Amino acid sequence: MKNIIVPIDFSNTSAYALEVAASIAKEKSATLYVLHMLELNRAMLTSTEGFHPEQTVFLIKLAEKHLNEFLDKPYLKDVKVVPIIKHYKVFAEIANVAKEKDADLIVMGSEGADGLKEMFVGSNTEKVVRNSDIPVLVIKSRISDFSPREIVFACDLKNENIHAFQRAKAIADAFSAELKLVYVNTPGDDFLSTAEIQEKIRSFSELVGFDLLIAIYNDYNVERGVLNFGIETGADMIGVPTHGRKGLSHFFMGSIGEDIANHASKPVVTFKI
C-alpha cells in the first residue's frame, strides 16, 4: 500500500478520515494525496458574463490557504502529504485522481444520509463508492489509532464476488487482520437450506483455490445481517462488495454495499465488483 487518496471538505468527518489515513500511511510508508474539490462548475470557469477569472483565482487561493491550515495537524508529522485542489465538484474526479496516482485505497469520512435525501441524492460517500474501482474505506468517527484486527467480509458466494473477496483478503493481509467471511441467509425467495449453502461454499472455495470457513448468519435482510454479525463478533471493520450501480438501476435496485457503508457505525471498506 503505497498511495492513499483522502477527499476532504473541511468537516469533522473528513478530519477523522485524514487521521485514519495518516495512521495507515505511517505504518505503510505511503504517500497521502489530500484532495479538495471546490464548489465551482464548468460554467463558472468558462463563462464570460458575471464571473471574472480573478474571482476564480481568489477562490482557489482561499481554498489553498484553508487546506494548508487544515493539514496543520500533529499526526501528519513524518507523513508525505501531497495536497490537490480540483476546480469543480464531480465525484468521478476522485476516481480519476486515484487512477492517475496509482492509488491503493481511498479513505473518506461520512455522516451518512437518511430518508428522502438518501433516496434521491445520497451521501457524498455513496457517490465515491459508486464510482471507485479501488477499495474505499469509510470512516464515521474519530479513531486515533487505526489498527483493525478482525474484518468481516460479506459474501453471497456468487462467482462475480471472487475479485472482491481477493481484494478484501489483500486488505486484511495488509493490516495483518483476520478476515471473517459471512453469508447472510434471508427469508422468502432468497432462503437457502443449510445443504444448499454448504454446496455454494464448496463451489466458491474451489473457484478461489482453497477451502474457506464461512459463517452462516440468519436475518431479515442482508444489510441487517451483516451489521448485526459485525456487532456480535466484535469486528473492527466491515468489508462489502458493491455493484456501483448508477442512474435508474441504482434508484430501483439499490446497492447493499452502499447502504451498509452509509448506515454502519464501524469503519466499512467497499470493493467494486
Reported as a single tens digit per residue, the pLDDT across 211-228 is: 999 999 999 999 999 999
Distances (CA, A) of 253 to 114, 141, 192, 220, 256: 17, 29, 21, 17, 9
Dist CA 186 CA 65 (whole Å) = 51
Q: How far apart are CA 30 and CA 20, in angstroms?
A: 13
Q: What is the pTM of this model?
A: 0.86
Domain limits at 122? 1-146
Segment 178-196 shows an average pLDDT of 93
What does the block give as the cell for 107? 479513505
Residue range 14-68, pLDDT digits in tens: 999 999 999 999 999 999 999 998 766 555 555 555 555 667 677 778 888 999 9
- Give the Cα separation of 70 and 11 in Å (integer): 10
Asked if residue 200 and residue 225 are part of one domain, the reply reads yes
Q: Give the single-character DSSP code of 209.
A: T
One domain for residues 162 and 245: yes
Three-state DSSP at 153 gives strand
Measured in whole angstroms, the distance separating CA 71 from the mean position of its chain's CA atoms is 21
Element (H, E) at 146: none
- Looking at the structure, tell me whether residues 54 and 3 fall in a common domain: yes
Residue 148 grid coordinates: 483493525
Domain final residue, candidates 146, 162, 182: 146
Cell 483493525 belongs to 148
Can you tell me the distance from the alpha carbon of 45 to that of 87, in angstroms, rounded to the nearest whole number? 8
Q: Which of 100-114, 184-198, 253-267 has the lowest mean pLDDT?
A: 253-267
**CB atoms closer than 10 angstroms to residue 235:** 23
Asked if residue 11 and residue 132 are part of one domain, the reply reads yes
Same structural domain for residues 137 and 233?
no
> Domain ends where: 119, 146, 173?
146
Is residue 83 domain-shared with residue 184, that is, in the same domain?
no
pLDDT, average across residues 231-236: 95
Q: Are residues 160 and 241 in the same domain?
A: yes
Domain total in the chain = 2
Same domain, 4 and 97: yes
Output the domain CATH number for residue 133: 3.40.50.620
Boundary of a domain, candidates 121, 146, 171 = 146
Helix 124-131 to helix 92-100 angle (10° resolution) is 50
R_g of the chain computed on alpha carbons: 20
**C-alpha dist (Å) from residue 3 to 59, 163, 167, 222:** 28, 21, 16, 32
Residue 115 backbone dihedrals phi, psi, to 5 degrees? 55, -140
